Amino acid sequence: MVTPLSRRSVLLGAGAAGLLSACSSAAATDPDVVAAFGTQQAGIARPSPPQRHVDLSVWDVPGDVRLAPLLAALGRRAAALCAGGDSALADLPAARLTVTVGLGPRLVPPGLPGSQDLPVFPGDQADDAHRGGDLLLQVCADEQLTAALAVTELTAGTGLAPRWRRTGFRGPSASDGSARNVLGFADGIVLPKGDAELAANVWLDGPPAVRGGTIAVVRAMRLDTAAFHALPVSRQEQVIGRRKATAEPLSGPDLDLGAKTPDGEYLIPADAHVRRAHPLTVGAGVMLRRSYNADDGLLFISFQKELRTFVATQHRMSEGDALLKFATTTASATFLILPGFSPEVPLGQALLG
């Protein structure tokens, strides 16, 4: 059984819905607060631009922990923390704190989106302890300590067993939502934009149990930044397919994968990351990516309506993406991100009843 801490009892009692409704209203007036409630969970398409820090952790759910009460409690705690002013955050600002919760394939009923696991891709070096997992907590904030304290508060007394955890940071976001990574290049430029593209590529619209959710892929990658930066900038640009200083495609102001030199050579090389990972060459949908820099490389997070969007992209990259010579995946998992919730409809109720 999940044993809530006594100081949280006010959130677990009959007055919880009223308190959390009041908490959510703060988001309407405080730019530092992102509402936890909605059709979709926060931390995916909102806020925009994404926060500067992420604390991503993967947990196992022991057999004696009841899943429905666990998820409901996580939702209540998350809503209170994100509203700001909670003593667990040690008087730190809410800093656009969001908590996004997902379930691993073992806990998703067969046949539903999210019940399929990721394959092992060529070059992966994730051991068993760093593959898969039962529960994802993606905690984002503009203040690193706010995110870290939130993770502690969310998981204390739950009975969850830690599996792996990574933290990451982003540089300032450009107007298109991209930010520079530790290689010095803008990351995450091809993104779904607007409600229509999000509906087409990100949000699940099938069975009511998952409607409003999405499929997340999380991958921790070790980057050989020393070897990459030792290359001449012109060669770095060929590996990525963009100008380092401006993020402009090598084809010119607009991305044109068919553009060639007068000699018939592609302006964007055949093995450039931009070409290998582009939805047009993969033949799959557009992923919503929220990648973060990490101490040893990159923490890649993507959200997509179908797992095959990521799988097809990764297989295409494995066939000859020049960037993969500098990247080694050390942790990998996929999760069903649960639909949004409200004070009246607890987190996970649509799936678990």
Per-residue confidence band for 26, with pLDDT thresholds at 50, 70 and 90: low
Tens digits of per-residue pLDDT, 195-245? 999 999 999 998 999 999 999 999 999 999 999 999 999 999 999 999 999
Residues 6+ apart with CB under 8 A from 226: none
Whole-structure pTM value: 0.91
Query: Which pLDDT score, from 0 to 100, does residue 27 have?
Result: 58
Query: Which pLDDT score, from 0 to 100, does residue 11 have?
Result: 41
Tens digits of per-residue pLDDT, 291-322? 899 988 999 999 999 999 999 999 999 999 99
What is the C-alpha to C-alpha distance for residues 226 and 224, in angstroms, rounded to an integer?
6
Query: Which pLDDT score, from 0 to 100, does residue 23 have?
Result: 53
Range 34-341 has CATH code 1.20.140.10: no
What is the C-alpha to C-alpha distance for residues 114 and 106, in angstroms, rounded to an integer?
9
Domain boundaries, the chain: 34-341
Residue the block writes with tokens 């590529």: 201
Residue the block writes with tokens 């300032």: 172
Query: Which pLDDT score, from 0 to 100, does residue 1 have?
Result: 39
Residue the block writes with tokens 């770095």: 236
